[in-house]
Amino acid sequence: MCHVDVLFLQTFCKAIVSRLTLLACYIAAMMKSKSTTIWSWALYDWANSAYATTVMAGFFPIFFKQYWAADLSVNESTFWLGLSNAGAGLLVALLAPLLGAMADQGGLKKRMLLSFASMGVLMTASLFLVGEGHWLLALMIYVFGMIGFSGANVFYDALIVDVAERRQLDRVSALGYAVGYAGGGVLFGLNVSMILHPDWFWLMDKTDAVRWSFISVALWWSLFTLPLALYVHEQRSAESMPWRQALVKGYVQLLETFHHLRSLKTVWLFLLAYFFYIDGVNTVARMAVEYG
């Protein structure tokens, strides 16, 4: 193993140990509330963080440039990847408020989370089938995968009020973050090992390892979503309704919310500032490897 590989693995192992230590602290803090529902909810963050680390931040940008878009110039491949990230982010930003209001009206949060997550899992697994040079198809699948990932997160965040009491919200939210960092790091570590040593996993080469990494993310995401599907129950109101009616009422609620925000200058400025801040964070997460 080369010196760079050793240093990388040492740094990575230290990061994993620190994340697991943080997770252990939160586990100790949550022992007084041994709720299957809370842990099942938190495990979804463990599940989908694998997509954020292995696909979105780690392997897709490199594989896109070196395998699917090898015939394009550096500037062209970077442009198309950036455009795809921007397009997916814009679609989610436009759809999320309406979808969130719709889910609140119709008691559809869990159902819509599982629908978007299923799309993300299917798109991630589909990357395995994309052949060399088919960069446009890879980008299309990637965009739909990001929409599935981001859309599911909207409803995952909204479900926290159904699994935790008001006084627990901060702690349960922190638990989800801790579990997510640990889960994303564990599978990413395994995937990095697959890339560095394909022969350890009976794989032909690094290209084969990357393609099977996408399959591992899809399986990981699916498996650890099952506890949420089985044990998290949304507290539906008596006004639960069909999705078409929920869509109409959600649209009305969204308009009323924006109308109300006009009189709350501080809240409006906060939301605007947060939009640009989080967009910068997402840009770094999705494009850092490409620029590097």
Give the length of the chain. Answer: 292
Which residue ranges make up each domain of the chain? 3-291
pLDDT at 284: 80
Task: Find, among 10, 29, 13, the residue nearest to 178 by Cα.
Answer: 29
Neighbours of 144 (CB within 10 A): 18
CATH topology of domain 3-291: Growth Hormone; Chain: A; (1.20.1250)
- pTM for this prediction: 0.81
DSSP letters, 103-132, are: HHHHT-HHHHHHHHHHHHHHHHHHGGGPPT
What are the helix and strand counts (H, E) for the chain?
12, 0
Chain position carrying tokens 């814009």: 90
pLDDT the model gives residue 74: 86
What pLDDT does 33 receive?
47
Contacts of 12 (CB under 8 A, 6+ apart): 189, 192
CB 38 within 8 A of CB 163: yes
Helix (H), strand (E) at residue 227: helix 226-231
Q: Which residues contact 170 (CB under 8 A, 6 or more apart)?
A: none
Q: Are 67 and 207 in contact (CB under 8 A)?
A: yes
Give the per-residue pLDDT at 109.
Answer: 87
pLDDT at 106: 64
Which residues of the chain carry a pLDDT beneath 50?
1, 4, 30-34, 238
Predicted local confidence at residue 18, as pLDDT? 65
204 neighbors 198 (Cβ within 8 angstroms):
yes
